[in-house]
Amino acid sequence: MNHALVVVTPGERGRRLLREAGEYAAATDAELVLLTVIPEQEFEEKRRAVAGIGSSDAVYTLEQAEESAERGAMALADEELAGVDVSYRPVGTIGREAAAILDVARAEGVDHVFLGGRKRSPTGKALFGDVAQTVLLSFDGPVTVVMGEDAVDSSTSDANTVA
């Protein structure tokens, strides 16, 4: 069975990305791996905030963060992929986004990666951003980058696949 990894992010671009990956997975009989990456700094800030509540029982663990990320990814996928004949499962992780994407892609044996890019420059050139560029250069397989900003209507965004 083929496997595709989609980086789940909030916002309209993230929803478009899920739909694009879902269409690919349905057409190729691939299973989707829904990856949510929580930056280390964000995890540490939340952990400190929970610890600051003052209760000795108040802790925020790595496992809780990963489970929360997975629940969010599943909820979004259930909404966006309703009616699409595709199987998917979540993976939540803490760390640097590009490294996490590549690590999970290798561990899961994925054939295709879907992620968001920034937008196009005024001259029409694609601006991938550091994460997308790192994945494009390092992943040994096709990478689909959905361009655009979250506020942009889906009819004006682009999906670019690089093999």
Spell out the domain ranges in the chain. Answer: 2-162
pLDDT digits (tens, 9 = 90+) for 10-58: 888 889 999 999 999 999 999 999 999 999 999 999 998 988 887 767 7
Higher confidence at residue 153 or residue 140? Answer: 140
Domain 2-162, CATH among 2.60.40.10, 3.40.50.620, 3.20.20.70, 3.20.20.80: 3.40.50.620
Amino acid 143 reads V
Sheet of 112-116, strand order:
88-94, 30-38, 2-7, 112-116, 143-146, 159-162
pLDDT at 156: 38
Instruction: Tell me what the mean pLDDT of segment 67-84 comes to.
Output: 95
Measured from the Cβ of residue 146, the count of other Cβ atoms closer than 10 Å reads 26
Nearest CA among 110, 96, 97 for reference residue 139 = 110
Cα 154 from Cα 46, distance rounded (Å): 32
Q: DSSP string spanning the chain? A: -EEEEEE--SSHHHHHHHHHHHHHHHHHTEEEEEEEEE-HHHHHHHHHHHHTT--TT----HHHHHHHHHHHHHHHHHHHTTT----EEEEEEES-HHHHHHHHHHHHT-SEEEEE--EE-TTS-EE-HHHHHHHHHH-SS-EEEE-S-TTS-GGG--EEEE-
Nearest CA among 129, 110, 154 for reference residue 6 = 110
- What is the value of pTM for the model shown? 0.82
| Mean pLDDT for all residues in the chain | 86
